[in-house]
Amino acid sequence: MTRRKLVVGNWKMNGLKRDLGEVRAIGAAAAAHPGVDVALCPPFTLIADAVAASPGLVIGAQDCHAADSGPHTGNISAPMLVEAGARTVIVGHSERRADQFETSQDAWAKAAAAHRHGLHVIVCCGETEAEHDAGRAERVVQAQIEKSVPDEAAPDWFTLAYEPRWAIGTGRTPSIEAINAMHAIARAKLKQLVGGEAARGIRILYGGSVTGANAGDIFAASDVDGGLIGGASLTAAKFVPIIEAAAALG
Ligand code: PGA
């Protein structure tokens, strides 16, 4: 099964209205490369503005609550995201696991809620440096996938992102072989959970210090279907070369 490359920008807690020019430029690059899927996840406060600035670009969110509404001060629900114009959402990002103590079960519930409301869902997994050094990465990632991926996950609404925490924002990346090996392990785990056909179609993104310089080599690996990009998605100057690298691979 051919899996179209997907490149997702995660602006994290960055972005003000003055940055909407970057959204427009990223949207123009996405439109110029119709062979690759592109999404951009700005902070909640910019979602509606980003949609207005670049109506053709898929705009997403970086989290959502598992409930539709209720007494959850400071949280944002999936229907709110839909109303703001978001079409996709990242859940279970390692920064939320670390800063907000979110678990894989939380990611599962958020993914299910987002899917109920028609959002595309990107569930993140990835080991810490200590787990990596202790040789536990494989087991950690398998357990995260088992607990956070809904049984009904399917390629048209679900994407997995493998992001070793020690590679996020550090400029360090695993070797291409190590990335591809972990993606193959993740795909095998998905197969157990959702069946072979769905697992062959679900895209698995790599995240962690992807740049215009390394994206082509990383995305060319057989089990890597694109990237989840933090720092290098903040400006069109840095993000567009990553979109181009994905487009060049067809
Ligand atoms: P980075 O972040 O590209 O800045 O390493 C990736 C991510 O956290 O999604």
pLDDT band of 1, cuts 50, 70, 90: low
Q: What is the pLDDT of residues 34-72, one digit of tens each?
A: 999 999 999 999 999 999 999 999 999 999 999 999 999
- CATH number for position 13: 3.20.20.70
Q: How many domains does the chain have?
A: 1
196 burial type by CB count under 10 A (0-12 exposed, 13-18 middle, 19+ buried): exposed
Instruction: Give the rounded percent of residues in the chain with a pLDDT score beyond 70.
Output: 100
Question: Tokens 């157990």 identify what position?
Answer: 192
State which ligand 1 atom lies nearest to the alpha carbon of 167.
Answer: 5
Site to probe by mutation for ligand 1, drawn from 163, 166, 235, 239 as the one with most ligand atoms within 8 Å of Cβ, is: 163
* Known catalytic membership, residue 163: yes
Mean local confidence (pLDDT), 93-98: 97
> What counts of helices (H) and strands (E) characterise the chain?
11, 8
Report whether 141 contacts 147 (CB < 8 A).
no
234 three-class SS: coil
Nearest to 249 by CA among 2, 5, 1: 5
Provide the 10 A C-beta neighbour count for residue 99. Answer: 9
Per the DSSP assignment, residues forming a β-bridge with 124 are: 161
pTM: 0.98
Distance between Cα 53 and ligand 1 center (Å): 24
- 250 has a pLDDT exceeding 80: no
- 2 has a pLDDT exceeding 90: no
Specify the residue with its C-alpha closest to ligand 1, atom 7: 230
Specify the residue with its C-alpha closest to ligand 1, atom 3: 230
Does 43 map to a domain? yes
Mean local confidence (pLDDT), 150-163: 97
Ligand 1 pocket: which residues have CB below 6 Å?
Answer: 10, 163, 168-169, 207-210, 228-232
Question: Which residues form the domain of 41?
Answer: 6-248
| Average pLDDT of the chain to the nearest whole number | 97
Q: What is the pLDDT of residues 98-125, one digit of tens each?
A: 999 999 999 999 999 999 999 999 999 9
State which ligand 1 atom lies nearest to the alpha carbon of 169.
Answer: 5
**Which pLDDT score, from 0 to 100, does residue 41 have?**
99
Element (H, E) at 227: strand 226-229
Does 242 map to a domain? yes
Distance between Cα 26 and ligand 1 center (Å): 17
Catalytic residue among 93, 115, 120, 183: 93
Does 114 map to a domain? yes
Instruction: Give the rounded percent of residues in the chain with a pLDDT score beyond 90.
Output: 99
Mean local confidence (pLDDT), 168-177: 97
Does 1 map to a domain? no
What CA–CA distance (Å, rounded) separates 148 from 57? 27
- 76 has a pLDDT exceeding 90: yes
- 192 has a pLDDT exceeding 70: yes
* Known catalytic membership, residue 93: yes
Distance between Cα 207 and ligand 1 center (Å): 6
Distance between Cα 70 and ligand 1 center (Å): 31
